[in-house]
Structure 1
Amino acid sequence: VEGVASRDIMDVFDACQIRVSSGSACSSKVTKSFVLDAMGLEEWRSGSAIRLSFGPATRQEEINEACVRIQQAADALRNSCLIVADTNNDNDAQLDGVVQLKYDDHCCYLIIDREAREIAVVDPHPALAGRIENIVSCQHYRVKAVVCSAADSVMSQSIELLLPILIPSQSIDEYDVFGWPKTATGLCDVAPVECEDSVIGCISIGERRLFRVGTRNPVYVLSESATLKALVHSDFLFTGAEASPQTYESFMSENTLICPGRDPEHHLVYTPCELSGDCRVDDGVNIPIGDTDEFWHRKDLVIVDVRERQEHVLTDLPCCAEVINVPLTEVAQFIHSNPHLRERDIICLCRSGNRSQVVANVLKRHGFNSRHLLGGLALLGAPAA
């Protein structure tokens, strides 16, 4: 499926109870097919392929049912903007605020104002260009900027690739090497109190402002709603991969969320105290499979389903608690928008327990009382309603 990674296809197939693989049986945890690579096919085919296995015990009824469920999976992918479609039932229409996309350990950020239908892109990667273009096309967003924090070959390639596609009405000469609009350099209507003297320009995304700080390997600061002469703060800091903490620690408040340029350890988003080493986090975020009865029937819990929306909509969770769908891509914005949930007991869950463990750990580091379902929904089976 061109433009859709095998992992995304497998996740939504799994939500439909279809068991498939992205490669040969001897290639556990490999994200692409070396067999298709050896056949000389285009790279996107091996990275977007699914292997379905048949055997002598496979019955026609199972094949017929699988076809029905594959169609459901395709509809869910279309509705998520992973596949462009003419549809009004679009899961990605719910995106608002800071969205993190990843390619390997590279982090790209979309800053979306859903009401204003505007978007800015920070640190895109060429491999994510199709996904970004799909989101913009599906939602008919006006792209305010495509910027990067370093002028290396990968970033330059991303800017040269995306700017003509996402902002075709403007010439690439109207931007500097970081993709920053030359017209955005100068005075802003507001500036964060933490870095007011260091701001060299800003871009509006709805009522938010994206500020550029620094000229060489710049960092970007995002405020929430800003109005003329209002007091705004550094709510999000996009550091890129090159800047050292010493160059931006003076731009932060204690509530600033730090969005890294690279994230090999899946921390997703950092707190200022983590830079100084002053954070203390309790262990014990796991909930064994045998201890699930209590939270299926507790109304005071918050259950955070961290699967992607196209998975979430395919599976009902028979529980009494409040359920919130928070994919990994939206964790940073969730933390910023829901400080009141720090007082609630939170259970994170996903298909296998891998993603939910990541999110539970992230929330715990940011002061939430979070645990996760060890082994995930795949091992749990269907709980009693």
Structure 2
Amino acid sequence: MTAIPLTPRLRPAEIYLDSNATTPVLPLAAVAAMQCMQQQFGNPSSSHATGIKAKATLEHARSLARQVTGAGEGRILFTSGATEGIQSSVVSAMLALREQGKTGPTVLLLYGATEHKAVPESLKHWNSVLQLNASIIAIPVDQHGQLDFAFIRQHAPAAGLICTMAANNETGVSQALKELEQCIRDANPNVYWLVDCVQALGKMSLNLATTTIDYAPFSGHKLYAPKGIGFLYVRASAPYQPFIIGGGQEGGLRSGTENLPGIAALGAVLAELQRKDGSVFQAEPLLWQYRAELLAALKQVFPELVLNSEPPYIVPTTINFSVPGFYSKDIMDLFDAAGIRISSGSACSSKIPSSFVLDAMGLPAWRSQGAIRLSFGPAMTATECHDACQAIKALTAVVNKHCLVVTDATPTLEIHASGLLQLKHEDSCSYLLIDSDSAQAVVIDPVAALLNRMVNIIQGRQLELVAILQTHQHAGEADHAAPLLRQMLHLTDENCDEFGWPVATPQLELGHYQLTRLATPGHCARAISIILQQHQQLLAAFVGDLILPGGIGRTDLADGDANQLQQSIQQLAQHIRPDTLILSSHDYAQRFATTLALAIQETELFARLLAGEPPAHWQQQLNVQTAVLQQASHYYCGLVEVAATDASKLIDKAELAELLLQQPRLQVIDVREPHEQTAGPLQAYLPASTGVLEVPLSKLCDALLRKQLHPAQPLLLVCRSGNRSLLACKVLRRFGFATVYNLSGGMAMLQ
């Protein structure tokens, strides 16, 4: 048999808008590197003709770096990049301070609170290693990201080293270097001063020789040169100790055979930057125009967009924004599905759920947790800007269709807008049950962080909200989510009890669904479980924190009662089957749901409790289990801890075509969210004959309820990066699915 080729069909074109993280290599730079590797490959330290030519290439690039930065008599040495430049500068300054006897906590090492993490981490590391034992203090910034001059004037007299940056990598905020220099030097003429210039090159005018900046690191891959090459400016009078010792290259300042292809490529970029006419680098007014066009496109998609940094405090090539009701990952997943590459901030801190830069600026948590960075390079063309704007504007239809924003457009009720939605925020779960035939909905256990999303779905789908239900309320703790949701939807809570249940309504009707309640105290004194049926057939039980996926609800809170908990679980067991899906209000272990059978299988404690063993025998063990379960919760930008063994097998791109041919019963499952599936259909990356079943993670429990997936059928799960699909593999295998493959690397590896 011949494998079916994975031929491209209607794939989205890639729009790259993450230039602050890295840039593509300019063609002229790639040519220079290739020519160097093939024709000028000599060692610059060799004395023969081939080495002399290589040396000439190196020194020409150094001369260009000197010209572009206005280095004057300052030293320019080539490095592997900005991080090395920062390290060597910090070490040099600290060694000089130690030789001067400036050690101990009275000596200050100051850095801007919004600096790239390479700066404070370097300060901490070398302060310890060199035993300087100085005090490391962050310089505050205001809401515009500008350094606090009053703080600098107060602390600079005791400072041995001050580290600032010319332009911020997340926000694009630039510092007024002349005013900053005057502030620093008026307070302390002798303090060493490091300025991170990585994001300044090609975007800001630099004339380092006319300043008292002691150290300025630069990185090639932020300006269209390859990764692994950079350079460092060192003022002629500044102390410098070689960070790497060996053969004495770079005048003894940085040993190791030079990365000549990288240097040649960087030289080509610097030469282009120097060109007066016909350069690929755009004039600043045009970059501001590009920014305005991109921002207008973004506002068409997200009318309520809020900028986190604005003129006149920024360079034109960075747009940092947040959208009310969205976390960074929501927007990143949407854009990535459409082939638009953006980021949530610094690529080096992509696992942090909020931006430390925006936190330092004192912006609200929702803006920090929802921050998106769109950045383009100074070589962007008018065509690239136009294509980017068109791709962004095309998302307007997607966000409207899936009610990510509320508009006056007539909603389209597609398959994902019916049945059960499990919406998650960190370890909390909310449920939205929708009956599409009657256009009615019920909310169960609303979470404050998810209210905007729920309101958008309910209003966007023009649903009638029948009830907002809660499974439990702790004594002395006021719940704000349910009342706030009622307020946002202009609903009253009249004729409802404390759980939001309509008074004198033993069974709640929702189209084809029926909901009944069962008193199940124990986790807290006031608690119920909600039994879900469809056409009088038992489907699921919403149990609050009575039973958790992977554990049992805690009873060590103020109104918890172990005896009542045991009785409630035993009573619940009489109303449901061993395989009935149990849905909880918390999911610490990222297991989505459980059943009685699974709980007995996974937790020996649960079996003992269900069998009637008195609480005195298991209460302490329950408290320990509770602590372990809560500690198992890890959240980094929506990522969860998964392992390759969570799937039956990891399938890479090379194996995919053969697998599709060998297993004709294989069902491909797209677990991305509906807006991602619309923005970038998986089908475009697969043979036309391959069927794709769309089961977003938010609908995974619904798929289990409707028996949409068959445990005996082989499944191949796919998401954007391979992480969420691997999590889904873990969940399904736990529920007894025999063969669950995962596409390693996700759709990103198919593009």
**Shared fold (TM-score, shorter chain, > 0.5):** yes
Indicate the residue corresponding to 1:103 in structure 2: 425
> How has the CA–CA distance of structure 1 residues 89 and 143 changed in structure 2, closer, same or farther, with 3 Å as cutoff?
closer
**Shift of residue 339, structure 1, vs aligned partner:** 5.5
Separation in 1 of the partners of 2:415 and 2:671? 17
Contact 1:299 1:322 in 2 (8 A): no
Contact 1:3 1:131 in 2 (8 A): yes
* Rg comparison, structure with higher value: 2
1:302 is aligned with what amino acid?
Answer: Q
**Shift of residue 30, structure 1, vs aligned partner:** 2.2
Q: Provide structure 2 residue ranges, at least 5 long, that are not aligned to the other structure.
A: 1-322, 521-525, 554-565, 604-644
Separation in 2 of the partners of 1:321 and 1:159? 43
Q: Give the counterpart of 2:530 among 220, 230, 247.
A: 220
> How has the CA–CA distance of structure 1 residues 260 and 5 changed in structure 2, closer, same or farther, with 3 Å as cutoff?
same
Contact 2:668 2:692 in 1 (8 A): yes
1:119 matched to 2:488: no
> How has the CA–CA distance of structure 1 residues 3 and 154 changed in structure 2, closer, same or farther, with 3 Å as cutoff?
farther
Separation in 1 of the partners of 2:490 and 2:598? 37
Separation in 2 of the partners of 1:324 and 1:176? 41
1:182 matched to 2:503: yes
Indicate the residue corresponding to 1:343 in structure 2: 712
2:729 is aligned with what amino acid?
Answer: A
> How has the CA–CA distance of structure 1 residues 259 and 182 changed in structure 2, closer, same or farther, with 3 Å as cutoff?
same
1:178 is aligned with what amino acid?
Answer: F
1:64 matched to 2:386: yes
1:156 aligns to what SS in structure 2? coil
> How has the CA–CA distance of structure 1 residues 377 and 340 changed in structure 2, closer, same or farther, with 3 Å as cutoff?
closer
1:256 matched to 2:580: yes
Aligned 1:87-166 pairs, distance under 5 A: 87-88=409-410, 90=412, 94-152=416-474, 156-166=479-489
Separation in 1 of the partners of 2:413 and 2:326? 16
Indicate the residue corresponding to 2:692 in structure 1: 323
**Shift of residue 138, structure 1, vs aligned partner:** 0.9
> How has the CA–CA distance of structure 1 residues 90 and 323 changed in structure 2, closer, same or farther, with 3 Å as cutoff?
same
Q: Give the counterpart of 1:16 among 307, 313, 338.
A: 338
2:593 aligns to what SS in structure 1? coil
1:69 aligns to what SS in structure 2? helix
Q: What percentage of aligned pairs have identical amino acids?
A: 34
Separation in 1 of the partners of 2:478 and 2:421? 19
1:35 matched to 2:357: yes
> How has the CA–CA distance of structure 1 residues 70 and 155 changed in structure 2, closer, same or farther, with 3 Å as cutoff?
farther
Contact 1:79 1:85 in 2 (8 A): no
Separation in 2 of the partners of 1:211 and 1:371? 38
Separation in 2 of the partners of 1:155 and 1:124? 13
Q: Give the counterpart of 1:206 among 511, 516, 522.
A: 511
1:287 is aligned with what amino acid?
Answer: L
TM superposition score normalised by structure 2 = 0.45
Contact 1:79 1:89 in 2 (8 A): yes
2:508 aligns to what SS in structure 1? strand
Residue-by-residue CA offset, 1:298-341 (whole Å, 9 max, x unaligned): 64321110111111123342232221111111001111213563
Q: Give the counterpart of 2:650 among 270, 282, 287.
A: 287
State the aligned residue count.
Answer: 355
Residue-by-residue CA offset, 1:88-146 (whole Å, 9 max, x unaligned): 46466642221100111100011110111111111001111111111110111111111
> How has the CA–CA distance of structure 1 residues 283 and 121 changed in structure 2, closer, same or farther, with 3 Å as cutoff?
closer
Contact 2:647 2:742 in 1 (8 A): no
> How has the CA–CA distance of structure 1 residues 285 and 59 changed in structure 2, closer, same or farther, with 3 Å as cutoff?
farther
Contact 1:306 1:350 in 2 (8 A): yes
Separation in 1 of the partners of 2:724 and 2:331? 16
1:270 is aligned with what amino acid?
Answer: T
> How has the CA–CA distance of structure 1 residues 351 and 101 changed in structure 2, closer, same or farther, with 3 Å as cutoff?
same
Contact 1:118 1:144 in 2 (8 A): yes
Contact 1:95 1:112 in 2 (8 A): yes
Indicate the residue corresponding to 2:740 in structure 1: 370
> How has the CA–CA distance of structure 1 residues 343 and 321 changed in structure 2, closer, same or farther, with 3 Å as cutoff?
farther
Separation in 2 of the partners of 1:340 and 1:130? 30
1:45 aligns to what SS in structure 2? helix
Indicate the residue corresponding to 1:307 in structure 2: 672
1:377 aligns to what SS in structure 2? helix
Separation in 2 of the partners of 1:163 and 1:181? 14
1:363 aligns to what SS in structure 2? helix
Contact 1:285 1:357 in 2 (8 A): no
Residue-by-residue CA offset, 1:233-268 (whole Å, 9 max, x unaligned): 2x1111112554742333320331111211122211
Separation in 2 of the partners of 1:371 and 1:291? 11
Separation in 2 of the partners of 1:270 and 1:375? 28
Indicate the residue corresponding to 2:544 in structure 1: 240
2:479 is aligned with what amino acid?
Answer: S
1:3 matched to 2:352: no
Q: Provide structure 1 residue ranges, at least 5 long, that are not aligned to the other structure.
A: 185-200, 227-231
1:66 is aligned with what amino acid?
Answer: A
Separation in 1 of the partners of 2:508 and 2:442? 9
Residue-by-residue CA offset, 1:38-80 (whole Å, 9 max, x unaligned): 3233333223321012234544433322222111233312221
Report which stretch shifted further, 159-168 or 203-212. Answer: 159-168
Q: CA RMSD in A?
A: 2.4
Report which stretch shifted further, 264-273 or 59-68. Answer: 59-68
**Shift of residue 296, structure 1, vs aligned partner:** 4.4
**Shift of residue 150, structure 1, vs aligned partner:** 1.8
Q: Which runs of 4+ in 1 moved over 6 A?
A: none
Separation in 2 of the partners of 1:155 and 1:209? 28
> How has the CA–CA distance of structure 1 residues 257 and 242 changed in structure 2, closer, same or farther, with 3 Å as cutoff?
closer
1:252 is aligned with what amino acid?
Answer: I
Residue-by-residue CA offset, 1:135-187 (whole Å, 9 max, x unaligned): 1101111111111122147772112112244362x4x2422222222232xxx
1:223 aligns to what SS in structure 2? strand
Contact 1:335 1:366 in 2 (8 A): no
> How has the CA–CA distance of structure 1 residues 12 and 154 changed in structure 2, closer, same or farther, with 3 Å as cutoff?
farther
> How has the CA–CA distance of structure 1 residues 293 and 154 changed in structure 2, closer, same or farther, with 3 Å as cutoff?
farther
> How has the CA–CA distance of structure 1 residues 88 and 173 changed in structure 2, closer, same or farther, with 3 Å as cutoff?
closer
Separation in 2 of the partners of 1:339 and 1:79? 24
1:52 aligns to what SS in structure 2? strand
> How has the CA–CA distance of structure 1 residues 63 and 48 changed in structure 2, closer, same or farther, with 3 Å as cutoff?
same
Contact 1:20 1:52 in 2 (8 A): yes
Indicate the residue corresponding to 1:333 in structure 2: 702
> How has the CA–CA distance of structure 1 residues 380 and 262 changed in structure 2, closer, same or farther, with 3 Å as cutoff?
same
> How has the CA–CA distance of structure 1 residues 51 and 121 changed in structure 2, closer, same or farther, with 3 Å as cutoff?
same
Separation in 1 of the partners of 2:666 and 2:431? 30
> How has the CA–CA distance of structure 1 residues 378 and 202 changed in structure 2, closer, same or farther, with 3 Å as cutoff?
same
